[in-house]
Amino acid sequence: MPLSVKARIEVYLPDLPKTVYQELLQIFSAEFTTAFGGCTIVRGLDGNYLSKFGQIIPDRINLIYTDTPFDFQENFSAISNYTDELRKAAFKALEEEAILVVAWQVYHSV
């Protein structure tokens, strides 16, 4: 059977013990589930990032992702706009220097 090309959207959020961080994760979970039928949350990942001051900062993060029903290439503009809005919402809700939102092609077996 052929593979179908879909768009995966990932949001990497800091894992901090503040209510707003957990609330935003739940908001994104509800959004992805309603819009695309479900999502996955991977909690407690360890990472690092380089601050704007040149320091390496250890960072605990949660990853939330969803696979959309949309072809990545055919819907690139809409997917790009959607991920921009997710990033803006995260910056508005959180006091963070960086928020990573990713969209990429995945191949589903049909």
Phi-psi region of 97 (alpha: psi -120 to 50; beta: other; left: phi over 0): alpha
What does the pLDDT look like over 26-65, one tens digit per residue? 999 999 999 999 999 999 999 998 888 999 989 999 999 9
Q: Is 80 exceeded by the pLDDT of residue 16?
A: yes
Strand (E) or helix (H) holding 76: helix 76-93
What is the architecture, at CATH level 2, of domain 3-109? 2-Layer Sandwich (3.30)
pTM reported for the whole predicted model: 0.91
Domain residue extents for the chain = 3-109
Q: Can you tell me the distance from the alpha carbon of 45 to that of 58, in angstroms, rounded to the nearest whole number?
A: 11
Q: Is 90 exceeded by the pLDDT of residue 66?
A: yes
